[in-house]
Structure 1
Amino acid sequence: MDNEKIKYTVTEMIEGFGNYINSFNELTRLAPGFFKHRDWTTMQQNHRRRLRLYKDQVKTTGSHLKDFLGDILDDYHFWIEAKAAYSVAIQESKYKELAETFFNSIIRKAYHGLAINDRLMYVHEGYNSCDIYPDENLYYSYPVEWGFKKILDKMLDDFDFGVHFLNRDEDIRFLELAIQEVILTRYKTSPETTTQVLKSVFYRNKAAYLIGRIRVRKKWMPFVIPFVNTSDGVAVDTMIFDPNLMSGLFSFTRSYFMVKADIPSQMISFLNSAIPNKKIHELYNAIGFNKHGKTEFYRDFLGHLQQSNDQFVIAEGVMGMVMTVFTLPSYNIVFKMIKDYFDPPKTMTRQEVREKYKMVGLHDRVGRMADTHEFEEFHLPLDRIHPDLMKELRNTVNSLIEINGTELIIKHVYIERRMIPLNLYLENCSYEDAKEAVEEYGNAIIQLAKANIFPGDMMTKNFGVTRQKRVIFYDYDEIEFLTDMNFRRKPKPENYEQIYAATPWYDIAANDVFPEDFKKFMIGRNDVKDYFFEFHKDLFEPEFWQKIQKRILEGELIHAFPYPEHIRFRPSLEI
């Protein structure tokens, strides 16, 4: 094999990955400054820049290789040798697992028609194959003999945000009380009791988070401490011990954190011990390495396929006009494919739908929109496809599927977390759960609006309910920026011709929205309909939407707290 071409390929990939990770770290290091100066707009712009880095670098590196390698791009044996040489080159890297994913991305772009291949790609390695490094640079450790007041005092010293505290002594008292109520009333400290806090601060939107754990009675009690920077100084906002709330902070519905991770696998190991009900791929997503999160997801999926025997079936819920959706009952994800033809009145193109998904990927999801992984050339075992599903695929997405021997090849698919469709949930839940669900439904719409997202089609079938009973929006084909919409009140008819007109007698522009019409389709369950209309009565007033638009257009970033406001130490504190 041509050693010069192998050497060039490996060098180009190493340099490309280095450019990506250096730029990623450079943008991440800017987050503390944005938090210090309360520069929330630039914080968001910086976050979007970081999201684009990976794809841009893969494109650049892939282009260089195509120009240099020419016909050898599709040479199977060349890539076997290139992978072996690349493995040696990255062996000592603290970003080894991310570098492996970068190789996978490049070869998928360069090698025409390549499917997932164990010999040519890093398919099963996993983050736990990385080297183990000493922990002293990962976290601060505070001994129990100091007492929690001194520990908390030292902790606030260690995390200097460069801004004076609103009320430092009160913050310490709040934190002491939280530890007393949750831990010290249940457990006695012992010589082995210790407190560890990751040295890296997790930044997102208008908040900064410390992630730590306290060792008591031979078990770790994880915690999160959010900080906010108000116009009057930095303040501890709350202290979270609830595992469900902690899990929610790292949810698939949240934007990724800006957090310095010198050794990503080491940070993931710590987070996995603190938030054990989160899968490895979710944690990689959360710290910004969503492309490697996609790799880890695929590994988890392959493992599940080997350990299960159920068939892929059409997902429950109302059939969509734009997407065909199916699932594997034993695995909590759904597969979404854009149909070849859309049912009326949908008029957009397949590319326009893809652009909507890209829009969501770059936007702040504020805990109300599901994250997705986009796959091409996704292979499934043909004998696991239920006949009814195969018929549906043939009828709706035939251009996107191909059968090769024992495999079904899907040319393009989105994968996201499975939830119970809200319309089905409301049909089967109790009255009290229904009340809670419709409150959440309205809250989701309001939080999306404050993030400058108008869902468009707000029917309950387009929302899902998570295991924590949180309502999430997941149908993106009609979303628009809120600031692009024109919220109006319907003109009142002034004569019989207008009253009995078969079609609207007034002009309606493409972006006109009449909130009073929302009541016609928002809730189908009669016993909670009036409750919803009263609880969220503002939703049906144009002025409500116009006020949110005005705040956004004036440059305000409206913060969505990823935990209940009633647990905040100072609920009235504005940020």
Structure 2
Amino acid sequence: MEPNKIEFTAEIIENSFAHYMELFNEITRKAPVFFKKKDWTGMQIQHKKRLRLYKDHISEATGLIEGIVEGMDGDFDFWIQTKKTYQQKIKSRRDKELAETYFNSIIRKIYPGLAINEALMFVHEGYNSCPLYSNTNLYHEYPSQWGLQKILRSIMADFDFDIPYLNKEEDIQLLVRSVREVILSRYKATEDTVTQVIKSVFYRNKAAYLVGRTRVGDKWMPFIIPFLNGPNGVYVDTLIFDPKIMAHLFSFTRSYFMVEVEIPSQMVAFLNSVITHKQVHELYNAIGFNKHGKTEFYRDFINHLALSKDKFVIAEGIKGMVMTVFTLPSYNIVFKMIKDYFEPPKTMTRQEVKEKYKMVSLHDRVGRMADTHEFEEFHIPLDRISEELMKELKNDVNSQLDFTEKELIIRHVYTERRMVPLNLYLETCTLEDAKTAVEEYGYAILQLAKANIFPGDMMTKNFGVTRQKRVVFYDYDEIEFLTEMNFREKPIPETFEQIYASEPWYEIKPNDVFPEDFKRWMIGRQDVKEHFLAYHKDLFDPEYWTKLQQQIKKGEFIHAFPYPSELRFRPEEEA
């Protein structure tokens, strides 16, 4: 084994990662400019560009390394030494956990069938092994002695968007009122009371968010302040204290934020203290480091396996024609595998299904589509798989299975947050909850449409209900861009032959959609069906869908608010 090859390989990976982070940060730093110019399309383009960076850099670095390691298949000692050399090179980096994941990605790319190997890869290091940095310059701090007015004025001064305000003084007084109503009505400020706001602004779509916390009543009270840039200037849209709403802002159903991050582990630690409903891997995802989020998820998964004893089982719900879905009851995740054969009328290929999932990963999910992680060579202990599940796996996805004496190795699988299928939820929930759920169901479809997504198969079995009773779409094999669909009214029959025809007597093209047909099958529960039809009557109007298409084709970006409209300080027409 040649030492210079080890050094050179480690250097290639180090330089590739450094260049990736340089470009990642360069793109992220453009977000304030897009917000200032109200260039929402540009913001989305840069977001997609940033998502593609990782794969492109991994491929380029792998190409260079393959020439070095040619003929060294199975020489794991080389990679053990390369890992040690690389570890020394990155030890002083403040994003070293991301650099570790990058190394893992390289070696998995070079050896596609390689299992997770602690000697060759960084398996248990990650977030928990990151050093604690003092004086990280992460946040602004405002002591209680300043008084509420001065604190809020200072916050507004510290976050100057270089844009004229709609009415800064009114914004300050609206914030003062909210703080008094929510916090000071319950707690009294003391000498120990302090407010901290992360210096980096969180940008996504048309909004900019400040994330902070106030130490009061011997605990941290988190808050988020959303800003919008409207026709008449920038303004504070609301002040959010509700932990559930804050969790939704960082939800697995939302696109990642564009936010400058100097030390990822410190940012995640702060967010973890503020948004306690979220796990570490979800927070890494939210700030744009989804590849490391995947690593942290896997670490959480193997730790959970070690601490639990239940078995993997078939997921509840109607079995799909394209995907086999299973879960571990004690773990809030489902595992989705593409079937070997699709039942009629499904005609797509495995690659086409993968392309749909990739499309979702790059698109704005507007809080209505679940994020996924894609894994290859995923290992599960054989003694943790139920007999019923094993039978289904061998029947439906056998080509994707390999076995060792103790493990099942899945060649390709998606992981996704587990939700209650909407059709099952509607079977058992109260009338009040059912009304809320069908309203949410309609909103999910319409908000996806405004983001240029047509779900295709809109049956309730393809939607899930989250813990916050929010309805989310999770079946992607038939999604299309809304602008590619043709919404039509059904022709009126004019003859007896047409009236009594056993099949449609008019031509139907592949992308034709007849919204009036939705009424027949969308909701099966009779005591809420009429409520749904009246509440979401736009769903059944072809003209409504066509107008949405025209807006999108004109380049209009329709903002989906991630918090209830009643929380907003001003009506839309005043902003």
- Inter-partner Cα distance in structure 2 for 1:297 and 1:131: 20
Name the structure 2 match of 1:448.
448
CA contact (8 A) 2:140 2:197 kept: yes
Aligned partners of 1:361 and 1:171: how far apart in 2? 36
SS state at 1:412 partner: strand
Shift of 1:571: 2.8
d(CA) in 1 for partners of 2:315 and 2:136?
47
Map 1:297-312 onto structure 2 (within 5 A): 297-312=297-312
User: C-alpha distance in 2, partners of 1:405/1:439?
Assistant: 50
Deviation at 1:112, TM superposition (A): 4.6
* Structure 2 counterpart of 1:34: 34
Distance 2:82 2:468 in 1: 46
CA contact (8 A) 1:74 1:112 kept: no
Give 1:495 deviation, angstroms. 0.3
Tell me the residue number matched to 1:56.
56
User: Which residue identity does 2:254 align to in structure 1?
Assistant: R
Partner of 2:457, secondary structure, is coil
Residues 282/337 of structure 1: CA separation in 2 closer, same or farther (3 Å cut): same
Task: Report what 2:489 is aligned to.
Answer: 489
- Residue 499 of structure 1 is matched in structure 2 by 499
Q: Which residue of 2 aligns with 1:354?
A: 354
Structure 2 residue 226 is matched with structure 1 residue 226 = yes
Q: Match for residue 314 of structure 1?
A: 314
Aligned equivalent of 1:544: 544
Note if contact 2:322-2:343 (Cα within 8 Å) is conserved in structure 1.
yes
User: What is the Cα deviation at residue 73 of structure 1?
Assistant: 4.5
Shift of residue 572, structure 1, vs aligned partner: 2.1
- Paired residue for 1:18? 18
Aligned equivalent of 2:337: 337
Give, in angstroms, the shift of residue 69 of structure 1: 1.7
- In structure 2, the residue matched to 1:368 is 368
Q: Residue 79 of structure 2 corresponds to which residue in structure 1?
A: 79
What residue number does 1:206 align with? Answer: 206
| Residue type of the alignment partner of 1:395 | N
Matched letter for residue 309 of structure 2: N
Please tell me whether the aligned partners of residues 483 and 549 of structure 2 are also in contact (alpha carbons under 8 angstroms).
Answer: yes
- 2:518 pairs with 1:518: yes
Q: Deviations over 1:455-514 (max 9, x none)?
A: 000000000000000000000000000000000000000001111112111111111000
SS in 1 for 2:178: helix
Shift of 1:405: 1.2
CA separation in 2, counterparts of 1:97 and 1:112? Answer: 22
Deviation at 1:132, TM superposition (A): 1.6
In structure 2, the CA distance between the partners of 1:490 and 1:186, relative to structure 1 (3 Å rule), is: same
1:156-555 pair list within 5 angstroms: 156-555=156-555
Give the drift of 1:111.
2.4
The aligned amino acid for 2:370 is A
CA contact (8 A) 1:256 1:287 kept: yes
Matched AA of 1:411: R
1:149-177, CA deviations, whole angstroms, 9 ceiling, x for partnerless residues?
A: 11111111100101011000110011001
Which SS does the other structure have where 1:530 is aligned? helix
2:415, 2:135 → 1: CA distance? 35
For 2:136 and 2:466, locate their aligned partners in 1 and report how far apart those are by CA, in whole Å: 37
How far apart, CA to CA, are the structure 1 residues paired with 2:196 and 2:291? Answer: 29
Deviations 1:50-97 (A, max 9, x none): 000001111111111012220124311111111111111110001100
Which secondary structure does the structure 2 equivalent of 1:228 belong to?
strand
CA distance in 1, matches of 2:140, 2:411: 47
Q: CA deviation at 1:129?
A: 1.2
Contact 2:100 2:126 in 1 (8 A): no
Q: Contact 1:139–1:198 at 8 Å: present in 2 too?
A: yes
Aligned to 1:148: 148
Using the alignment, how far apart are the partners of 1:355 and 1:307 within structure 2? 35
Distance 1:476 1:401, change over 3 A: same
Instruction: State whether residues 74 and 111 of structure 1, in contact with CA within 8 Å, keep that contact through their aligned partners in structure 2.
Output: no
Contact in 1 for aligned 2:9/2:65 (Cα 8 Å) = yes
Pairwise CA distance, 1:192: 0.5
Q: Secondary structure at the match of 2:69?
A: helix
SS at match of 1:241: coil
CA displacement, residues 382-403 of structure 1 (integer Å, 9 cap, x when unaligned): 0000010000001100000111
Matched residue SS, 1:74:
coil
Q: Which amino acid aligns with 1:146?
A: W
Is the 2:450–2:558 contact (alpha carbons within 8 Å) kept by the matching residues of 1? Answer: yes
Task: Work out the CA distance in 2 between the residues paired with 1:279 and 1:399.
Answer: 33
Structure 1 Cα separation of the partners of residues 122 and 487 of structure 2 = 51
TM-score (norm 2): 0.99
What is the aligned partner in structure 1 of residue 101 from structure 2?
A: 101
CA distance in structure 1 between the partners assigned to 2:496 and 2:447 by the alignment: 41
- Alpha-carbon contact 2:256-2:286 (below 8 Å) kept: yes
SS in 2 for 1:262: coil
Distance (Å, rounded) in 1 between the aligned partners of 2:574 and 2:537: 24
Q: Which runs of 5+ in 1 are unaligned?
A: none
Q: Is the 8 A contact 1:62 1:109 kept in 2?
A: yes
Corresponding residue of 2:68 = 68
Equivalent position amino acid for 2:228 in 1:
V
Question: By how many angstroms is 1:196 displaced?
Answer: 0.4
Q: Using the alignment, how far apart are the partners of 1:15 and 1:499 within structure 2? A: 70
Name whichever of 507-516 and 112-121 sits farther off: 112-121
Letter in 1 for 2:332: N
Contact 2:32/2:203 (<8 A) preserved: yes
Distance in 1 (CA, whole Å) between partners of 2:174 and 2:328 is 46
Deviations 1:423-468 (A, max 9, x none): 0000000011000000000000000000000000000000000000
1:503-535 per-position Cα deviation (integer Å, ceiling 9, x unaligned)? 111111111000011112111111111111111
Determine helix, strand or coil for the equivalent of 1:72. coil
Q: Structure 1, residues 228-264: CA drift from partner, whole Å, max 9, x if none?
A: 0011100000000000000000000000000000111
Deviates more, 1:159-168 or 1:126-135: 126-135
Using a 3 Å threshold, how does the CA distance of structure 1 residues 73 and 65 change in structure 2: closer, same or farther? Answer: farther
Q: Write the distance in 2 (CA, Å) between the matches of 1:527 and 1:281.
A: 40
Contact 1:73 1:110 (C-alpha < 8 Å) held by counterparts = no
Aligned-pair distance for 1:193? 0.5
Q: Deviations over 1:310-353 (max 9, x none)?
A: 00000000000000000000000000000000011101001000
Q: Is the 8 A contact 1:313 1:327 kept in 2?
A: yes
Q: CA deviation at 1:574?
A: 7.5
Point out where structure 2 has 5 or more consecutive residues left out of the alignment. Answer: none
Give structure 1 regions of 4+ aligned residues with deviation exceeding 4 angstroms: none
* C-alpha distance in structure 1 between counterparts of 2:6 and 2:85, whole Å: 8
TM-score (norm 1): 0.99
